[in-house]
């Protein structure tokens, strides 16, 4: 079993937690190849693009009144 006390942020240890996270990101940058980064990027785009194509128009339709939409359509 792992001891997770070392990972908990003490009130004065928030800066240390940031350094700890930064060290993990640096390790990822050093050890992942360009092919793995490209695979991660393609996966992220594959997930985010359809969500954005559905969610953003739904939010805009809820926020923008019909009058503004009709004026934009006329332009």
Task: Kindly report, residue by residue over 15-70, the tens digit of the pLDDT.
Answer: 777 777 788 778 877 887 889 889 989 999 999 999 899 998 888 888 878 778 78
- What local confidence, expressed as pLDDT, does residue 53 receive? 92
For position 2, what pLDDT does the model report? 58
Domain boundaries along the sequence of the chain: 33-75
Give pLDDT, residue 46: 95
Q: Under 8 Å CB-to-CB from 44, ≥6 apart: which residues?
A: none
Residues written for the chain = 75
Is the pLDDT score of 1 beyond 70? no
Nearest to 61 by CA among 72, 45, 49, 47: 72
């Amino acid at each position: 079993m792992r001891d997770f006390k070392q990972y908990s942020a003490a009130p004065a240890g928030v800066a240390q937690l940031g350094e700890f996270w930064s060290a993990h990101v640096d390790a990822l940058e050093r050890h992942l190849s360009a092919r793995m980064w490209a695979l991660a990027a393609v996966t992220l785009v594959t997930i985010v693009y359809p969500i954005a194509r559905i969610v953003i128009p739904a939010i805009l339709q809820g926020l923008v009144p019909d009058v503004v939409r009709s004026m934009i359509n006329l332009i």
